[in-house]
Amino acid sequence: MSKYLFRLSLEPGVFFAFLLSLMAPAFVFAGGAKDSPAESVEGKLVLASTSWLGAMATAAGAENVRILAPLDLRHPPEYELKPSDLVAASKADIIVYAGWEQFAEKLADTAGSAGVRTITVRTSNDPAEFKAEAAKIAQALGTEEKLEKWWGAFLPFAEDLREKVMALYPDRRAVVNRMQTPYVAWMGFEIIGEFGPAEPSPAVILELAQMRPALVLDNYHGPSGWPIAEAVNAAYAELLNFPGKDGTLTIEDVFRYNADTLIKAAAGQ
């Protein structure tokens, strides 16, 4: 063996070729050219229109997610794209959006011009619906196994929160902002009336107040239900759809935040 190494040290060209043969697999694994068959598909850049879509992409198994609308916006769909956003869109591998963003058309046009794949999803915080839409992203990335692993951890986590919250509400009759009905229905509340997303008229406020709900569940990103709660002295809570508030980033953070908010509402806080 020592004789063989001595020969290589005397023949630099042979020694260099030998080193390359050992290192070649590492270069492929590290990424290499973009069209390399060994490229990690989950490493592709996924550009999400808002934090809600970003959370969905992360749940689907995406590892490289960029969000357009800033996290500190209370109503992200109203974000106005900057030229740098359009440049980012043209360089993304996949763009994920819902279609209700006011910038959706411009984003789609940019993607079309650049030949970037787009995925349109429905947004809902009903866990089963959220997973079904995340599956569209996972299929595009080839990360279905990662989505299933996430689901295996998320569902018991969400159901545990639901059990803790519902134990505090013997009277579950609720008037709900329509932007929160999927989540509230999954939680187990009885939705006896809906309002929003626009400000309810005095007639609507009177009609809903006459239903005598135990609580009014509003949408943090466009609240309009406080007058109803005030009229009947009902518990009131503003729930999240989009991560961002108070450091929330993932869909797990949103569910945890909403559960804490509902627990505080039950205690009259």
Domain boundaries, the chain: 1-37, 41-153, 168-266
Of 119 and 43, more confident: 119
**Amino acid identity, position 237:** A
User: What confidence tier does 40 reach under pLDDT thresholds 50, 70, 90?
Assistant: low
User: What confidence tier does 228 reach under pLDDT thresholds 50, 70, 90?
Assistant: very high
Check pLDDT > 60 for residue 139.
yes
Check pLDDT > 90 for residue 201.
yes
User: Among the residues of 115-201, which ranges form H helices?
Assistant: 127-141, 144-166, 181-187
Mean pLDDT along residues 162-177: 98
pTM given for the model: 0.84
**Amino acid identity, position 221:** H
pLDDT score of 136 = 98
User: What confidence tier does 37 reach under pLDDT thresholds 50, 70, 90?
Assistant: very low
* Domain 168-266: CATH architecture, name and number where available: 3-Layer(aba) Sandwich (3.40)
Mean pLDDT along residues 36-49: 69
* 41-153 and 168-266 in the same fold: yes
DSSP secondary structure letter of residue 38: T
Check pLDDT > 70 for residue 10.
no
DSSP secondary structure letter of residue 41: G
User: What confidence tier does 170 reach under pLDDT thresholds 50, 70, 90?
Assistant: very high
CB 228 within 8 A of CB 32: no
Mean pLDDT along residues 9-19: 39
Identify the H or E element spanning 3. Answer: helix 2-10
Check pLDDT > 80 for residue 32.
no
Mean pLDDT along residues 175-189: 98
Q: What angle do CA 243, 99, 189 make, to 5 degrees?
A: 50
Residue that has been written with the tokens 């598909």 in this structure: 41
User: What confidence tier does 269 reach under pLDDT thresholds 50, 70, 90?
Assistant: confident
User: What confidence tier does 76 reach under pLDDT thresholds 50, 70, 90?
Assistant: very high
Mean pLDDT along residues 221-227: 97
pLDDT score of 43 = 73
Q: Look at residues 222, 176, 245 and name the one whose alpha carbon lies nearest to residue 77.
A: 222
Mean pLDDT along residues 174-185: 98
Q: Look at residues 185, 184, 174 and name the one whose alpha carbon lies nearest to residue 213.
A: 174
Query: How much is the mean pLDDT over the chain?
Result: 87
Check pLDDT > 80 for residue 138.
yes
| Domain spanning 41-153, CATH class | alpha beta
